[in-house]
Amino acid sequence: MPVKNRFAELHPEITAWRQDLHENPELLFDTHRTSALVAEKLRAFGCDEIATGIGRTGVVGVIRGKSDRSGRVIGLRADMDALPILEQTGVEYASKTPGAMHACGHDGHTSMLLGAAKYLAETRNFDGTVVVIFQPAEEGGGGGLEMCKDGLMDRFGIQEVYGMHNWPGLPSGSFAIRPGPFFAATDIFNLEIEGLGGHAAKPNETIDTTVVASQIVMAAQTIASRNADPVDQVVVSITSFETSSNAFNVIPQRVMMRGTVRTMSPQMRDLAQSRLTTLAEGIAASFGATARMDYTRNYPVMVNHEEQTEFAAAVAASIAGSCADAPLVMGGEDFAYMLEERPGAYILVGNGESAAVHHPEYNFNDEVIPAGCSWWAEIVERRMPAA
């Protein structure tokens, strides 16, 4: 079955929603306009129940089918927040908020799920209940965790949950998925090196923190090359290096570094944290300096469940003709928290040859909308066929 005819009809309307959201991006939990717009549309669609303020600014809509003999409840989740990036797309509906833009396509995800909700509320051609979930703060705020902490799954009786993300480089409207670990755990760290500052002409009277920190930067790469099992992925990136002095002739007292660690298994996550801390402290001590590590475990590994992944792939293939095997992704995704609470699956839908996500020239491809909406709707109608 190709895309549903109804979504071809709704395509201009959904595109208008998407471009409006793109023009008015909001960050993290401050999705007040977006959340209000979503709730307003869900009411207009005739959803049976609408709840706001879940996970601070999350919105949930409940749509009941023509019958409920199955007792099944399926959750469909889209993220709503933008990124703190200055947009450089040049489109006429570009962000009106300086320093914020929808650089990851959450405007598209939200609009596609709204389109699916409109269709499902119109037809109700399924046996069970659909819960549409609009989540804030995916981009580092852990909005998925906050919604789960607010009792999302139990309150609405969700039994399975499905998510979707657009993917630049994948042909427009095509799909890709993989079972098991899919997106990486995303830990972050701050590392402070304390030495003995002094005059750059007298390094013998100092403990040079720039030398110590530079050694740590290089040694951190041995975690992947010499500590990790070669088939177990790990990325250690030190992304910021700042000293306590900007003078040409001063050896700084302190160096502050920060970075991220990406892993695909709990064992590698433990190993990477332990080795990074041990290396930093040991190298610092060998020079007479000290190292203070502040390590934070952020999003966990996102793991697709086997049965739900197979089902999601079959639905995608019915729409696009096939569903590709997706690669492992070392980026993070806080849908992981929802998949820890309930079985489900997360799929990629192709955005075509666009700029990469998190790039100032990225823009969601509106041609993807009918395929994405059709996937949401087919997940429901195939998983809970009308009695």
Residue ranges at the known binding site: 104, 106, 139, 165, 358
Task: Specify burial of residue 309 (Cβ count, 10 A radius: 0-12, 13-18, 19+).
Answer: buried
Instruction: Spell out the residues 6+ positions from residue 264 whose beta carbon is closer than 8 angstroms to its own.
Output: 181, 184, 185, 232, 233, 234, 301, 328, 330
Residues whose CB falls within 8 Å of the CB of residue 289, separated by 6 or more in sequence, listed in order: 193, 194, 195, 196, 207, 209, 212
**What angle, rounded to 10 degrees, do the helices at 369-383 and 306-320 form?**
130
Q: 22: part of which helix (H) or strand (E)?
A: helix 5-23
CA 331: distance to chain centroid? 8
Going by C-beta distance under 8 Å and a sequence separation of 6 or more, which residues neighbour residue 49? Answer: 60, 61, 62
Q: What single-letter DSSP state applies at residue 112?
A: H
Q: Is the dihedral of CA 259, 260, 266, 268 positive or negative?
A: negative
Name the 3-class secondary structure at 375: helix
Distance, CA of 244 to chain centre: 34
Six-digit token string for 273: 């944290």
Binding-site sequence positions for Mn(2+): 104, 106, 139, 165, 358
**Residue 387 in 3-state DSSP?**
coil
